């Protein structure tokens, strides 16, 4: 917009007009802002001033603000609006955005808004509400332009002028037959440069990439990334055109999926919001921590089983954190590579085999190098060559096994149709702790005579 000082002055003018209830000045200055800046200004105001903003703006103008606010932050604003005004705001929003917000509200509130809303808007929203969450149907919009293949270019242009104001995008125009089945696609440029009396079916492209209404949203995002689409059509099992998914919806999906994977990777049920209190945050994390606590007890019990070995060679205890820490670190590295590859679809069946072989090789190289280094360090430090060899060999074996575990566990989970991100860092770390303790003390017990 303007430079920072001018922007601050502009916001002060808007705030002053709001406080003085000068509706004309407020509307002039506020509506000159970019919609994102409008949303930021709106969220910074007290509830009292927000209620005044609702009074100064139309439902359509308020809808544009709501579309520029994060989904999880919108519920309080709709709750404080007059229900009739809120229903009108929903009716003015892009259908898919309205559905996303309504899915976050209590069912009785949703029913109330749909009852108050005008029938046309309510019907469009109801069509999308019944689709399962996180599928193509739940994120598509029904606000698109479809052309019949029997249209001439001139008829199509006239139809486009009528429908374009309400469409989410017109970069791609989808062609349907008399049964509303998707039969072709053409770009706006193709339409503009075609002769007026040419039939649409003569200029359309017949190689169509579409997605099923029941397809998982993550797979839709991956496909749009691969094809570099700005929009993709959504069809049912008989190829009837139901809606389209645009790139802005996919960006939201990618952010949502990344947050979801990150929370699972960190072994928390959900990444907390900034305003979330400590009790709610702890409630989300405790189940995972308790599971990990019991797994940790298993590690402790394993060490207890080697108590006799520790009594005879107490110096072994010094290197337990080193062995376990290295196993956790290398396992988490391999896990991150595997989960990312699975999430982005970079690995097919052959790709997964190559990944496992590569990680095995990586574990062998890193394990050998780290094993040699620690053997030399322990010999120079303690003067014990056999102790150095024991720790070095344990490190080498542990890093090989931990690296393989970090890559294999998410692949196995993916094969079992379980989200690979569930194989989170803390779980892999704990599992590798158990493996490393078994390797370390198993080797120590086997070569006890040399150590004594």
Q: Which of 91, 99, 227, 98 is nearest to 172 (CA)?
A: 227
CA–CA gap between residue 411 and residue 400 (Å, rounded): 17
CA–CA gap between residue 308 and residue 317 (Å, rounded): 12
pLDDT at 1 over 50: no
Q: What is the residue-wise DSSP string for 24-50?
A: HHHHHHHTTS-HHHHHHHHHTS-HHHH
Q: What is the residue-wise DSSP string for 229-294?
A: -SEEEEE-TT-BEEEEEEHHHHHHHHHHHHHHHHHHHTT-SSPPPTT--HHHHHHHHHHHHHHHHH
Query: What is the overall mean pLDDT for the chain?
Result: 83
Q: Which of 290, 221, 266 is nearest to 422 (CA)?
A: 266
- CATH 1.10.357.20 positions along the chain are 278-451
414-420: average pLDDT: 70
Q: At what angle do helices 385-415 and 320-344 cross, to 10 degrees?
A: 30
pLDDT at 415: 78
CA–CA gap between residue 399 and residue 367 (Å, rounded): 5
Element containing residue 314 per DSSP (H, E): none
pLDDT at 26: 93
Stretch among 123-127, 265-269, 383-387 having the lowest mean pLDDT: 265-269
pLDDT band at 2 (very low <50, low <70, confident <90, very high): very low
364-374: average pLDDT: 91
Higher pLDDT, 268 or 4: 4
Beta-carbon contacts of 448 under 8 Å, excluding residues fewer than 6 positions away, are 309, 312, 313
pLDDT at 265 over 60: no
169-194: average pLDDT: 91
pLDDT at 431: 79
172-201: average pLDDT: 92
CA–CA gap between residue 443 and residue 392 (Å, rounded): 11
63-86: average pLDDT: 89
Higher pLDDT, 283 or 357: 357
pLDDT tens per residue, range 323-368: 888 888 888 788 777 777 776 666 555 567 788 888 888 889 998 9
CA–CA gap between residue 80 and residue 48 (Å, rounded): 10
pLDDT at 153: 94
CATH number, domain 278-451, options 1.10.3720.10, 1.10.150.20, 1.10.357.20, 3.10.400.10: 1.10.357.20
**With contact defined as beta carbons under 8 Å apart, do 408 and 360 qualify?**
no
60-86: average pLDDT: 90
276-294: average pLDDT: 69
- CATH 1.25.60.10 positions along the chain are 4-130
pLDDT tens per residue, range 92-149: 998 888 888 888 888 888 888 888 888 888 888 888 888 888 889 888 988 889 999 9
Running DSSP on this structure, what letter comes out for residue 108? H
Contacts 24+ apart (CB under 8 A), 60-67: 60/92, 61/31, 62/89, 62/92, 63/89, 63/90, 63/92, 63/93, 64/35, 64/38, 65/35, 65/38, 65/39, 66/39, 66/93, 66/97, 66/101, 67/35, 67/93, 67/94, 67/97
CATH number, domain 4-130, options 1.10.10.10, 2.130.10.10, 1.25.60.10, 1.20.210.10: 1.25.60.10
pLDDT at 193: 93
Q: Which of 122, 63, 73 is nearest to 94 (CA)?
A: 63
367-371: average pLDDT: 91
Place of tokens 């670190």: 329
pLDDT at 104: 81
Higher pLDDT, 332 or 64: 64
Strand (E) positions, 12-151?
146-148
Q: Classify domain 146-261 at the CATH topology level.
A: CBS-domain (3.10.580)
Give the torsion sign (CA, 99, 101, 103, 109).
negative
Running DSSP on this structure, what letter comes out for residue 394? H
Question: Using DSSP, how many helices (H) and how many strands (E) does the chain show?
Answer: 23, 6
């Amino acid at each position: 917009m303007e430079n920072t000082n001018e922007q601050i002055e502009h916001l002060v003018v808007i705030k002053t007009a709001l406080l003085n209830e000068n509706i004309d000045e407020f509307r002039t200055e506020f509506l000159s802002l970019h919609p994102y800046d409008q949303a930021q200004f709106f969220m910074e105001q007290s509830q009292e001033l927000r209620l005044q903003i609702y009074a100064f703006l139309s439902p359509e103008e308020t809808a544009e603000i709501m579309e520029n606010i994060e989904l999880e932050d919108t519920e309080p604003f709709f709750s404080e609006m007059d229900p009739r005004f809120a229903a009108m705001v929903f009716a003015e929003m892009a259908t898919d955005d309205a559905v996303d917000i309504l899915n976050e509200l209590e069912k009785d509130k949703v029913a109330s808004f749909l009852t108050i809303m005008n029938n046309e808007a309510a019907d469009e929203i109801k069509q999308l509400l019944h689709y399962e969450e996180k599928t193509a149907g739940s994120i598509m919009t029904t606000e698109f332009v479809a052309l019949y293949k029997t249209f001439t270019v001139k008829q199509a242009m006239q139809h486009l002028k009528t429908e374009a104001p309400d469409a989410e995008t017109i970069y791609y125009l989808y062609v349907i037959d008399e049964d509303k089945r998707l039969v072709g696609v053409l770009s706006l440029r193709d339409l503009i440069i075609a002769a007026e009396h040419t039939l649409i079916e003569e200029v359309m492209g017949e190689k169509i990439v579409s997605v099923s209404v029941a397809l998982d949203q993550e797979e839709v995002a991956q496909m749009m990334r691969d094809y570099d689409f700005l929009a993709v059509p959504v069809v049912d099992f008989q190829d009837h055109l139901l809606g389209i998914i645009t790139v802005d919806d996919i960006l939201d999906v990618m952010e949502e999926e990344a947050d979801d994977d990150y929370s699972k990777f960190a072994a928390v049920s959900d990444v907390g919001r900034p305003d979330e209190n400590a009790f709610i945050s702890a409630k989300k994390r405790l189940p995972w921590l308790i599971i990990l606590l019991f797994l940790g007890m298993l590690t402790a019990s394993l060490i207890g089983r080697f108590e006799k070995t520790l009594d005879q060679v107490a110096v072994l205890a010094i290197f337990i954190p080193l062995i376990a820490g290295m196993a956790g670190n290398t396992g988490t590295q391999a896990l991150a590579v595997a989960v990312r590859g699975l999430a982005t679809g970079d690995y097919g069946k052959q790709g997964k085999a190559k990944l496992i072989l590569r990680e095995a090789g990586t574990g062998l190289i890193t394990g050998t190098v780290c094993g040699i280094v620690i053997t030399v360090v322990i010999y120079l430090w303690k003067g014990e060559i056999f102790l150095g060899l024991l720790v070095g060999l344990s490190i080498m074996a542990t890093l090989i096994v931990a690296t393989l575990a970090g890559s294999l566990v998410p692949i196995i989970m993916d094969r079992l149709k379980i989200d690979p991100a569930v194989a989170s860092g803390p779980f892999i770390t704990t599992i590798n702790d158990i493996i490393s303790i078994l390797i370390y003390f198993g080797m120590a017990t086997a070569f006890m005579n040399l150590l004594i």
